[in-house]
Amino acid sequence: MKYFYIISPLLFIAFSCVPKPPQPETTPSPPIRVLLNETDQRDSLFFSGTYSLIAEEARYDFGRKNNKIYFRPLKRGFKIFNENRIFVFTSSDIIDFKPKDPESYFIYEGKKHTGKLTFYISNKNSVAVMNTLPLEEYIKCVVPAEMPSKERDNLEAVKAQAICARTYALGRMRMRKDEAFDVYDDVRDQVYKGFEYRTEYGDLAVNKTRGDVLMKGKNLALTYYHSTCGGVLEDTIGTKKGKEDLEDKKTIRKDIIGDQFACSISPRYRWTRRFTLRQLDSLFAARGKPSLYAKNPSDTVDIEMSVFIAKRKPTGRVERLGIRYGDQVLWLENYDIRKFLSTSGEGPLLSNLFLAHVENDTMLVLEGGGYGHGAGMCQWGALYMSKKGFKYYDILVNKYYPGTYLKKVY
């Protein structure tokens, strides 16, 4: 027997009109205050779109033909001006320029920034230029500036970088909540170059990990990171119990995946830097030491040069270094070693992980490995792990930040 079912049109209409349950709203990310510069000179920037300065007496719009402003400090305040208007403010004034819509942005020092623009007088009696924007938008600009993020194979490492950058930024926001700004836009905190540097996979990594941070106990983890560890990691990130653990050679962690060092794919995994007597003379002179090359030739026929490594960390990184040049001896420690051994073309020494010797009594030769302090996540090691199929959780929790866990905070 066949049965026929008749569905009432009214019933169909009733069910088709049932409203969908409301979708959960995304919690907005907190705003972060980024210090772009502090200047004691006249400076300028451009607006694209419309930005508004809200003053006590009126609102002033900037954009289109009125799109450039100048600013400079005064004895008791600062001035913002262009060919149309002049605004004079006191040292206690904090002046905001707000975008009219999300498409508006400003251009400062060749970089394009969205969000609010703020001027105030800093503790250095300079005009401070600050950008405030949602944290997630900031992270999208930081990630590609800190790590290669244009290749699909790098995505898991880029996700790890996004979580490190977010955790670090939130930590700075909490630490500096009573100060005028949260983070610098350079290596003093994290490199922030504006939205033009954003990439497809960088944005994807930030979106996929939105609100995720790395925790150590009940606190944000100290998510330091560096370019290349050279094969050995520094445990100075708060993942050990105390100082005694950092001095214990048993805690040394080698950055090995399978049968090779993870960051061996880095162009700075191994390096050599050479310094001639004349280069060392210039470095000593820059420190206020007398130049031996400035003496009479008869006094500089025989210039002694030697190097002493007085102390290394358990990982092999040089902690204290002595350089003898003629009758002068200069002692250096930690990052000061890298700063002193700088060259105009290459900048500071890449790392403190090196061997040193003098060649033919005329050349200081350093043979080293890695780039950066070696603490936290090795970025090139993370890239290698990503290419080998490891997930961002493995990179962070199981490799570079042992004893931590992931948590979504918004």
Q: Which of 146-155, 273-282, 322-331 has the highest mean pLDDT?
A: 146-155
48-58 pLDDT, tens digit each: 999 999 877 77
Average pLDDT over every residue of 198-208: 98
pLDDT value, residue 5: 43
| One-letter identity of residue 311 | K
pLDDT value, residue 251: 60
Please provide the DSSP assignment of 209-268 as one string. Answer: TTTEEEEETTEE----EESB-TTEEB--SS-SSSHHHHT-GGG-EE-EETTEEGGGGSTT
147-191 pLDDT, tens digit each: 999 999 999 999 999 999 999 999 999 999 999 999 999 999 999
Neighbour-count burial of 54, counting CB atoms closer than 10 A to its CB (0-12 exposed, 13-18 middle, 19+ buried):
exposed
- 3-state SS, 287-298, equals CCCCCCCCCCHH
Are residues 235 and 242 in contact, defined by beta-carbon separation less than 8 angstroms? no
297-314 pLDDT, tens digit each: 555 556 778 899 999 999
193-202 pLDDT, tens digit each: 999 999 999 9
Strand partners, 97: 53, 117
Residue 67 has pLDDT above 50, yes or no: yes
Q: Which of 193-197, 323-327, 340-344 has the highest mean pLDDT?
A: 193-197
For residue 359, the tally of other CB atoms under 10 A from its CB is: 10
Residue 236 has pLDDT above 60, yes or no: no
Average pLDDT over every residue of 208-226: 97
Percentage of residues of the chain with pLDDT beyond 90 = 75
Average pLDDT over every residue of 67-89: 95
Residue 10 has pLDDT above 90, yes or no: no
d(CA 139, CA 122): 25
| Residue with tokens 């790098």, as numbered in its chain | 154
- Residue 182 is given by DSSP the state S
Instruction: Please give the model's pTM, rounded to 2 decimal places.
Output: 0.86
pLDDT value, residue 301: 56
pLDDT value, residue 296: 64
Average pLDDT over every residue of 360-370: 93
Task: Give domain limits for the chain.
Answer: 31-133, 137-263+374-408, 270-369
- Residue 375 is given by DSSP the state B
Residue 14 has pLDDT above 60, yes or no: no
For residue 399, the tally of other CB atoms under 10 A from its CB is: 21
Give the pLDDT band (50/70/90) at residue 109: very high
Which residues have C-beta within 8 Å of that of residue 273, sequence separation ≥ 6?
341, 343, 346, 349, 350, 365, 366, 368
d(CA 240, CA 126): 41
Residue 23 has pLDDT above 70, yes or no: no
| Average pLDDT over the chain, rounded to an integer | 89
Q: Which of 20-24, 219-223, 288-292 has the highest mean pLDDT?
A: 219-223
Please report the sign of the dihedral spanned by the C-alpha atoms of residue 350, residue 352, residue 353, residue 355: positive
What is the C-alpha end-to-end distance of the chain, expressed in Å? 59
Which residues have C-beta within 8 Å of that of residue 378, sequence separation ≥ 6?
225, 226, 227, 228, 229, 233, 255, 262, 263, 400
| Helical H segments across 297-401, by residue range | 335-340, 379-387, 392-393
Residue 7 has pLDDT above 70, yes or no: no
